[in-house]
Structures are given as structure tokens and as C-alpha cells.
Amino acid sequence: MAISVTCIAPVNIAIVKYCKHWSGGKRDDDLILPINDSISVTLSTDHLRTKTTITASPELTKNVLRLNGVEESFENPRIQRCLLEVQKKAKSSGKCPKPEMLEWKIRVESENNFPTAAGLASSAAGYACFVYTLATLYGIEDEELSGIARMGSGSACRSLHSGYVQWVMGEREDGADSLAVQVAPATAWPNMHVLILVVNDRKKATASTQGMSTSVKTSELLKHRAEKCVPQRIEQLKKAIAEHDFETFGRIAMTDSNQFHGVCLDTYPPCFYMNDVSRQIVRLVHEINNMAGFIKVAYSFDAGPNACLFLLEKDVVEVSAIVRRAFPFNHCQEADYYKGIPNDEAAMAAVPEKVLNTFSVEEPNQLRYIIHTKVGEGPRRVE
């Protein structure tokens, strides 16, 4: 009698960052509403993805949740909320092929192919995958689901779409218009590549939810950012995406990342996500761009020390060679250090020593590994 569905969902990285609305405000904290629009890039599920299997069965006596092989409590109010909202939508849509299954308990098994809680947006991919898989199980995967995923983890709403995605903050008190919409598909700008530099870090100093809600409570700069800085960046970034203007895209990515982390610092107590290795990466990127005389590569940091570098296909070989030179390693095999899209090793070996020698070499093993990936598709069912 059991019915089972498996789906995957992507990670996304915000180019213009989201900050959560303060719970003391008018709009409900449980709804996870932002104080400004954000725009993200969905990364390819070929390299980073959550995979979730949900089984509904009349024989289950309780809901079960397993994350990366470890049983977790289903009592989490955000999980409960998402489950309830998807079931409500399935009922009202009348699309569920087997309506009685809406009353059955479920078993959820979810796993990431990347480190959980390492600032790689695992909760975004996780909640997006949970909501999408559940919706697929109930036959409503074509409905608007981003508002439900948002109630799991704010930025999860953006992981429901492919390519370049805007989370419109909305105006309604009930959050019904705070939804993610696609700005452009992944295919619209096919030569956009991404290098993720995963920093060797013991653990996150501050959980991001905690960090962000502190920010809104105490930062005097955050409101100014949300009201004055972000709206014009959103418009400039949408134009840059439409026109394939990498210079503007890269400049906004870097300035917004820096402003976000600056605002995180302007809290009490302050909230730090970047560390000394993050700063070495920032310095390297600016050196590469200064040398080029234009923006060849841009960084963005989310709620952790790892860097997401954006660059065009034509520059992947040179930038990868520089990054490899600057961040040597001996703590693992080459195949475990360079992940994702295979680079053209012959072309990389041909990058002149003169270019590589310009950059200072950091201590070995500052990075755990490097993932070469691209902008990619949204969630989908797999078998």
C-alpha cells in the first residue's frame, strides 16, 4: 500500500542577500518574511543537491525523519508547518490521485551530497526538496510552492526555480505574496560558471538563523540597507542578467556580499561568518581583477566562510589555475580536492608561470576542496 517518491533539489546562493524581518514587527515571525527582495543563482544539481525520499503508508504509526542517515525529531515546528501547508494545498486543489493518503503518516529520508550546516545553504536545499517531494507525492508539484518552502527556511523558496531567481518580499501581512519567481532560466546565460571554495573550518561560529534575527533586532545600518541600498541593486542586477553584463553582475555580487557581512557585524553581539581564509580569498579575487583591469571573477559569501566565485567560461582555466596555485593542499587526493566539472588540465598546465607567480601562495590546506559547477535547474523527480 505504501507510496514512495524521490526528488532532488538544488542549493542557491544569493547575489543580493536576504535578511529576515524582525519577529517583533507586524509580520509574523513564523512566516519567515524578508525585509528586502533578494536575487539568487540556482546551482547545478549535478554537483550539489539534496535528495529526499518520502514514503506515505497507512501502516506507519508516526511521522519519521532521517537526515543524512540520522533520525531527527519530526516535532520541528517548521517541518510541521510545511507538511500541513502542502497537505492543505493538496486537499483544496483536488488533484491528489489518492486523497486518503493525505491522512497517512510519512517517512522522510533526506541526504545532501555536500557538508550540512557548512554555510552551503543546506537548509534551503533541504526544505525545498522536502516541500517539492511531498507535493509530487500528492500530485501538486505544479502548484505555487515557494511560499510554503519559505516557511521552512526563508531562502528555500528560491531553490524551487532554476537559473536566476528573485524572492519578492511582498506586502501582505499573511506573507501570501512573498514568493520566488524566475528572473531568467539557467540556459539564458550558459557561459556563467561557478567555483565553490569550501574552507577548512571547524564549525560555524553562529547559526545563521540566530545571526540574522539578531541583526534585525539591533543593527542600525540594516534598515538603511534594506530601504535605500537594496532596491536599486535589485533593478541593476536584473538588468545585468538580462544583458549578460558580467562586470555589473560581479560588482553587485561583491558589494552586496560585503555589505551583508558588514551589517552582520553591526549587531550586538556581532555576528561573524567570514574568517581569515575567506579574507585571503577576497584579497586574491581583487588582485586577479586589478591585474586584469576588469572584473574577471567575483565572490559571494553566505552564512559561512566558504566562497562562491562567479566567472565566465572563457576565464575558468586561468582563474582555476591561480586558485590552485594560491591554495595548495596535501591533506587529500587530487580527485577529492577538485570536484565537479572536470577542468581542461592541459590548458591549465599551459597558464604561464609569470601569471601564476604574481600571486602569493597561502599555507597548505586552507581549503577543504573546490567544486567547479554551473548555474542549474530546479527540483525534479528522480527514480
- Report which DSSP code applies to 362: P
Q: What is the DSSP string of 293-331?
A: TS--EEEEE-SSS-EEEEEEGGGHHHHHHHHHHHS---S
259 touches a copy of itself by CB under 8 A: yes
Name the region of 6 (left: φ>0; alpha: ψ -120 to 50; beta: rest): beta
- Report which DSSP code applies to 331: S
Q: State the Cα torsion 106-112-117-118 to the nearest 10°.
A: 180
279 touches a copy of itself by CB under 8 A: yes
How far is residue 267's CA from residue 220's CA, in Å, rounded to a whole number? 8
261 touches a copy of itself by CB under 8 A: yes
150 touches a copy of itself by CB under 8 A: no
How far is residue 122's CA from residue 156's CA, in Å, rounded to a whole number? 9
| Closest distance of CB 122 from a copy of itself, Å | 23
235 touches a copy of itself by CB under 8 A: no
323 touches a copy of itself by CB under 8 A: no
258 touches a copy of itself by CB under 8 A: yes
> Binding residue for a copy of itself (CB under 8 A) from 283, 343, 356, 380?
283
Query: Is the distance from CB of 310 to CB of 297 less than 8 angstroms?
Result: yes
> CA 161 → CA 101, 117, 149, 224, 376, distances in Å?
27, 22, 12, 29, 9
How far is residue 77's CA from residue 32's CA, in Å, rounded to a whole number? 13
How far is residue 274's CA from residue 126's CA, in Å, rounded to a whole number? 23
Q: Which stretch binds a copy of itself (CB under 8 A): 23-31, 154-162, 265-273, 345-353?
A: 265-273
Give the CA diameter of the chain: 69
- Report which DSSP code applies to 22: P
307 touches a copy of itself by CB under 8 A: no
248 touches a copy of itself by CB under 8 A: no
Q: Which stretch binds a copy of itself (CB under 8 A): 138-146, 186-194, 218-226, 374-382?
A: 218-226
265 touches a copy of itself by CB under 8 A: yes
The enclosing H or E element of 301 equals strand 297-301
Q: State the Cα torsion 49-275-165-155 to the nearest 10°.
A: 70
351 touches a copy of itself by CB under 8 A: no
> Binding residue for a copy of itself (CB under 8 A) from 44, 45, 87, 267?
267
> Binding residue for a copy of itself (CB under 8 A) from 32, 263, 303, 322?
263
254 touches a copy of itself by CB under 8 A: yes
| Closest distance of CB 229 from a copy of itself, Å | 5
Backbone angles phi, psi at 315, to 5 degrees: -105, 0
CB closer to a copy of itself out of 31 and 226: 226
| Closest distance of CB 287 from a copy of itself, Å | 10
| Closest distance of CB 269 from a copy of itself, Å | 5
204 touches a copy of itself by CB under 8 A: no
* All three cell numbers of 284: 586574491
Query: Is the distance from CB of 197 to CB of 282 less than 8 angstroms?
Result: no
| Closest distance of CB 256 from a copy of itself, Å | 10
Q: Which stretch binds a copy of itself (CB under 8 A): 11-19, 56-64, 98-106, 259-267?
A: 259-267
CB closer to a copy of itself out of 43 and 319: 319
Q: Which stretch binds a copy of itself (CB under 8 A): 40-48, 172-180, 213-221, 362-370?
A: 213-221
- The residue with cell 516535532 is 75
CB closer to a copy of itself out of 6 and 218: 218
Nearby residues of 222 by Cβ (< 8 Å), 6 or more positions away: 19, 35, 215, 216, 263, 266
Give the β-pairing of 367-374 and 192-199. antiparallel
Residues that bind a copy of itself (rule: CB under 8 A) add up to a total of 31
CB closer to a copy of itself out of 133 and 206: 206
Binding positions for a copy of itself, rule: CB under 8 A:
205, 218-221, 224-225, 228-229, 251, 254-255, 258-259, 261-270, 272, 275-276, 279, 282-283, 286
